[in-house]
Structure 1
């Protein structure tokens, strides 16, 4: 499903990734863990096509992504990849429903189709009474669930998440983790999550441990 072959990345004289090899099957939840500076976020950004490697090969869902031109790569990212970050990055002037719809509008879906899918997702995530609320009116856990709905709106092949529960309290963190496992179990969703939460990582299908730009195990 995701094939990473000999990925390297440097920033100036600092080599952050030193030849990463990784294969992630469909419908699995992989946790990437390691100390600060290990290269976790850089690897996630490259797998998510937000950054390009210096060398190596990345294949997602059978597509060699970095062989695509910029326009086709942007379309691929919109349709096949969902992102959830530590900070939800919701647009403050828009409602929860409107925020979820944005990737669908970028993907040229009609307003009716996008709003129906966004509404269904928010209901699934227990936010049916919060759809017309703006981010400032939502709790931290609610804002992050809206971000998850936004990541799911285009039925992506994979969801990448970077410390998605890092700013949440214990209850909301556990609820978000439970949601990720529910997405894997009920929808066969592939998820790759950078986390410092060892308890969550131990429950995932595979722990990818990184240190100094390498995968240890």
Structure 2
């Protein structure tokens, strides 16, 4: 479902990625681990089309992303890719429901349909009673579950998560990790997760180890 071929990336003289090859099947939960500076987040950002590789190819659902114009790439990202970041990145002036709806509205979904889908997802996240609360009124775990709902609103082919439980306490980490597997079982959702969390890495379907810009296994 995702295929990465010979991805190279440098920042000035620093070679960050050195010819990465990777394949991920639909419905897999894959973790990417390694020391700081290994290139994990850069690889995730390139696969998620938020950064460009110097060379190489990325395919998602059979689409070669390098062949898409900026406009088509932006549309593809909105409809096919979800993101979850370490610090949730919710917009503080909007409610949980509105935050979840935003990607759907950007993708020209009607307000009614976006609202209905967002409420379904918040219900799945056990957050229906928090829908009208703004981020400042939510706990850390609740904010991250809202972020997961937002990532899922357009039924993406894949969700990329960068240290999604890095800012959570132990109980909320366990809850979030359990949620990923529930979503995979219910929605056949694919997750690629950069993490330093050893427990999360140990329970994913597959763990990719990176060192110095290369996959070592």
Normalised to the residue count of structure 1, the TM-score between the two structures is 0.99
Partner of 1:2: 2
SS of the aligned residue for 1:129 comes to helix
CA-atom RMSD in angstroms: 0.5
Partner of 1:108: 108
1:20 aligns with 2:20: yes
1:182 aligns with 2:182: yes
SS of the aligned residue for 1:56 comes to strand
Q: Deviations over 1:125-173 (max 9, x none)?
A: 0001000000000000000000000000000000000000000000000
Deviation at 1:183, TM superposition (A): 1.1
Partner of 1:129: 129
Deviation at 1:187, TM superposition (A): 1.3
Distance between the aligned counterparts of 1:202 and 1:216, measured in 2?
A: 17
SS of the aligned residue for 2:129 comes to coil
> Following superposition, which runs of at least 4 residues in structure 1 exceed 6 angstroms of deviation?
none
Unaligned runs of 5+ in 2: none
1:203 aligns with 2:206: no
Q: Deviations over 1:31-50 (max 9, x none)?
A: 00000000000000000000
Partner of 1:86: 86
SS of the aligned residue for 1:191 comes to strand
Partner of 2:142: 142
Distance between the aligned counterparts of 1:48 and 1:9, measured in 2?
A: 14
Normalised to the residue count of structure 2, the TM-score between the two structures is 0.99
Distance between the aligned counterparts of 2:34 and 2:160, measured in 1?
A: 17
Deviation at 1:199, TM superposition (A): 1.5
